[in-house]
Amino acid sequence: MKDQDLQRLWQSDQQPHTSAGELLKQAKRAQLRMLVLMSIDFLVWLVMVIWASLMIRDNEQPESFAVGVFTIIAVSVATGYLLWLRTSTWGSDALDVKSILKLAIMRCDGAIQMVAVTYMFTALVVIGFVVLHQFYPFPETRISKIVSWLAIYSTVVVAAGQWYRAKQQQKKRVYLQRLQQMQEPE
């Protein structure tokens, strides 16, 4: 591994005196952060499944069972996808400049893909509510509350998704330019 190449790769965002050893530590911290995020994904899934199970068990309203089952299925699919995406961009290659760039590009692609899947998940939640409403009549007071929360949720997801996708596309362009510069003969 060339220490100068590794330093040049990250110097645009880092202090000019950061050593290659420190850059390797940062890459290892990124791996640890990925493991922590996977653990958080799993914990969120567990909490949502327990909450939905308790809602099914209480069964105060006729729609509780359907909403609980829908929640368990939707959260399980979303969590499975997130865990798959995180493990597929884990990056077990050597920590040299080209491998780090390729891994960064792959992570940007994964983040862009995750935004698209988040949009689909949001649409699934809205469609799920409409379907459940057809089979289980909700009280009017609950419908207006649910619709307003779904509208807020959808708006936040779309706004955050657009911002995050643009950020990841910009990072990907920078990484691709750097990788192309490294592959050009000097």
Taking only the tens place, the pLDDT of each residue in 52-80 is: 888 788 777 777 777 788 888 888 888 88
6 in any annotated domain:
no
Predicted confidence band at 165 (pLDDT cuts at 50, 70, 90)?
A: very high
58 in any annotated domain:
yes
pTM, entire model: 0.63
C-alpha–C-alpha distance, residues 160 and 148, integer Å: 18
- Structural domain for 132, as ranges: 16-183
3 in any annotated domain:
no
10 in any annotated domain:
no
The pLDDT value recorded for residue 164 is: 92
28 in any annotated domain:
yes
Q: What total of structural domains would you count in the chain?
A: 1
11 in any annotated domain:
no
Instruction: Give residue 73's Cα distance to chain centre.
Output: 18
54 in any annotated domain:
yes
The residue type found at 141 is T
DSSP 115-175: HHHHHHHHHHHHHHHHHHHHHSPPPHHHHHHHHHHHHHHHHHHHHHHHHHHHHHHHHHHHH
The pLDDT value recorded for residue 20 is: 56
